[in-house]
Structure 1
Amino acid sequence: MPQWLEVALRTLIAVIVLFVLTKVLGKRQVSQLSLFEYITGITIGSLAAYVSLDVEANWYLGIVSLTVWVVVSLGIEFLQLKSKAVRNFADGKATVLIKDGKILEDNLKKERLTTDELLQQLRKRNVFKTADVEFAIMEPSGEINLLLTKENQPLTPKHLGIKVAPEQEPQAVIMDGQIMDEPLATIGLNREWLTVELKKLGVALENVFLGQVDSYGQLYVDLFDDQIKVPQPQQKAALLANLKKCEADLEMFGLATDDDKVKTMYENCSQMLMGVIKEIRPLLIR
């Protein structure tokens, strides 16, 4: 067998084996690497290169070594699931770097982290003063997470006492001009509904690159032609406007009549409709 063909076959085998073993190790191996996982990843990559290129040695020995590394890594991960002591030994512990706006210099030295590196990590999170940080911690993965002081935290509807409606995951119902039936069925809709909504927007199905339906049943589309502007759905805004108009009409009718009984009825209806608008407003202004 020509040497180039042998190297090609070895590389193909290494790629397949490496892919299978990585799938066995799971997503954590490619997302959050502990110290041992980092070493394992480097070693597995080196062994895969050995299997591909070292034509002087038996290729199957590299596969055996790869398998042993994966089995050991799986064993350690299993022990980590069962024991915190093993987790602390293999992954290490989190280290507090800032507390109550004060930098803990001893912990910085322990992690071999300079002040410049700490400030750089803070700037990545749009924090430019350490005094604004209530608590900052370095995770075992090396990532730095922080909690801002109360006065520096972003303002949310909860801080203002405003109730907002829950938001569910939007469903992609059109991709590359093709209707996705499963997401449509998930939200209880069908192709006929989608066709009607596309007609309202004035676009053809084959011109839609991506179409998504939010949790309130509104369709948003992105077209292949970026020069074409598609109007945003206005159903919720129109409904809110109609409700407010009805409320205003009831108040006007109450003011226009001289019959006290009818006036009271209109006022009561207006108050009830005002309460309905207040309850559903968070749903309609999103």
Structure 2
Amino acid sequence: MKKQFLKMTMMAIILSIGFIACEKEEVIAGDSKAELNEEPTKDAVLPTEVSQDFRSIAKVQKDGHEFNFIALGQEDEMVVVERLYGEALINQEKGLINDKEMTAFDVFAQVTAQNVLVPNRIAMTANKDVLKSSGRQVLKSEEYLEILDDAYAELAEKAACYNVGATNFRNTYCNAPVSSTPSNIEFCDEGARTSPLTRSSYFGGAWRELDDTRTWTNVICGRVRVQFYAWEKDGIWPWSDYKWFLKYQVDFDNGIWWANYLTSTNTERKVVRTRISSNGSYRSYTRFH
């Protein structure tokens, strides 16, 4: 009798635990379904701290164009920054990284000699068999590479406010008229401005999940911060949700600058520009594709 009572008691306890566990699982699943924001929300916070490690891979100066290659995280994400100097700055030349199809490897291969070893992180960005067909050798170490122009010199004119003008910016740097599609979203903001500007991969009333982001900015004196955001999942289910991550930010001073954020991951994206000096203004172009 005693054994039967204990057996019934144990069965009751097991059933109770199972019921509670199932109920808890349903609550968690229900809450997760209700709260998980797979698309950006209007009240989503834009963080000010960069979410991942980054390091400079290489700097190359050639014919008035300076390129900085910055690796982000541990995958194939990379930012390529280009600026003008010398005669290229005086002549208001176009950047070499305008082409939307150019990878970080394509840029590096174009501005360096055939015998220069390609840093491994840059080589990782090459499309398909491009690296093999190029005949370029890879630098396996993480050693920082610097190739400087002997004729490099900062111009005295750089001290003046470098203003390419609204019409020139629209025609030369925006390749006006700009025309957006769901897979190629462009913004030409040729008017000089001092207030913050946010551009998003939003088109036709819907968010678009895209990978690469290309920007150029004419800083007219002062200093402007350019921030690249991505909408990504944070944490592990059922405690995860989507939110904005600040993937990278860079500060530009007087001049014309290109900054391309290159990745193979598709998601919703934002670019935020903010003047962080008390003087100056800026013009900008932004492209998500």
Higher share of residues assigned helix: 1
Of structures 1 and 2, the larger Rg is shown by: 1
Interval containing the TM-score (normalised by the shorter chain): under 0.3
More strand by share: 2
Identify which of structures 1 and 2 has the higher relative contact order when contacts are C-alpha pairs closer than 8 Å and 6+ apart.
2
TM-score (ref. length: structure 1): 0.19
